[in-house]
């Protein structure tokens, strides 16, 4: 069974630009969550989508947005990039909403210059 | 104060040592507790998952939860160099969305 796939793995952007990251969950998983990981703050929850609807949202500004498609694939977008957005962005899927067991992808490492 | 506090380490131990990793949490709402392991340049993977106070064992790994003191521990027996990774503790609330600690970096040297 294929795992969670994230693309691209690495990217470099400049301040003010926008970026879109993609995530394909494990087959059959309808929930997709996004996390930001930095050395200072650790893993912080961005948002979760289930059946194309955002179900939960973390404490991030509106520049961070996401969506989910009918095939459960998800994208997240960050607009007007800031230096502090440099991080590893992790996508995770889970088989149901009543479990905390997340299956993570390898992440997309974003560097903002 | 973060909901889940964890010493970032690094913790360096010799091969074969017993490792103790610890977390404290502040929210007493309904919850599960988990330990995830993250190797360098990889995403976290679930190691242990428990709800109740007490111990849960899986091979060389034992997760311990003390709800009265809001303390979570992970013990690794006979540690191996392949155990070198960052260990993240986490708790969930009613939404089952995990809240993670910052992670403890473990180095097991031969």
Q: Which of A44, A56, A106 sits opposite B95 (nearest CB)?
A: A56
- Please give the residue of chain B at the shortest CA–CA distance from A43: B100
Most confident of A62-76, A89-103, B30-44, B64-78: A62-76
User: Which pLDDT belongs to residue A96?
Assistant: 86
pLDDT grade, residue A1 (50/70/90)? low
Contact B44 A105 (CB under 8 A): no
- Please give the residue of chain A at the shortest CA–CA distance from B44: A104
Contact A56 B34 (CB under 8 A): no
Q: What is the pLDDT along chain B (110 residues), one digit of tens a residue?
A: 678 999 888 999 999 999 999 999 887 666 789 999 999 999 999 999 888 788 999 999 999 998 888 889 999 999 999 999 999 999 988 788 899 999 999 999 99
User: Which pLDDT belongs to residue B27?
Assistant: 74
Separation CA A10–CA B44 (nearest Å): 18
Q: Which of A4, A41, A100 sits opposite B98 (nearest CB)?
A: A100
Q: What angle do CA B55, B59, B64 make, to 5 degrees?
A: 20
- Please give the residue of chain A at the shortest CA–CA distance from B35: A101
- CB-CB neighbors (< 8 A) of B45 in chain A: 103-104
pLDDT grade, residue A31 (50/70/90)? very high
Reading the block at residue B51, the tokens are 């709800």
Best mutation target among B44, B65, B87, B104 (most A Cβ atoms within 10 Å) is B44
What is the average per-residue pLDDT within A2-27? 97
């Amino acid at each position: 069974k294929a795992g969670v796939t994230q693309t691209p793995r690495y990217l470099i952007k400049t301040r003010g630009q926008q970026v879109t990251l993609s995530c394909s969950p494990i087959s059959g998983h309808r929930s997709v969550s996004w996390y930001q990981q930095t050395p200072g703050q650790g893993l912080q929850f961005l948002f979760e989508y289930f059946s194309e609807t955002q179900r939960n949202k973390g404490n991030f500004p509106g520049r961070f947005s996401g969506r989910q498609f009918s095939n459960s694939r998800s994208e997240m977008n960050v607009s007007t990039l800031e230096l502090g957005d440099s991080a590893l962005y992790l996508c995770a899927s889970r088989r149901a909403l009543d479990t905390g067991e997340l299956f993570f992808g390898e992440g997309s490492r974003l560097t903002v210059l | 104060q973060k909901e889940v506090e964890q010493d970032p380490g690094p913790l360096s131990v010799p091969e074969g040592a017993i490792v103790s990793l610890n977390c404290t949490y502040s929210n007493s709402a309904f919850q599960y507790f988990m330990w995830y392991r993250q190797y360098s340049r990889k995403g976290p993977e679930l190691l242990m998952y428990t709800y109740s106070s007490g111990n849960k064992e899986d091979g060389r790994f034992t997760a311990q939860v003390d709800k009265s003191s809001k303390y979570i521990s992970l013990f690794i027996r006979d540690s191996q160099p392949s155990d070198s990774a960052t260990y993240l503790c986490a708790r969930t609330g009613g939404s089952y969305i995990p809240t993670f600690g910052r992670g403890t970096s473990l180095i097991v040297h031969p």
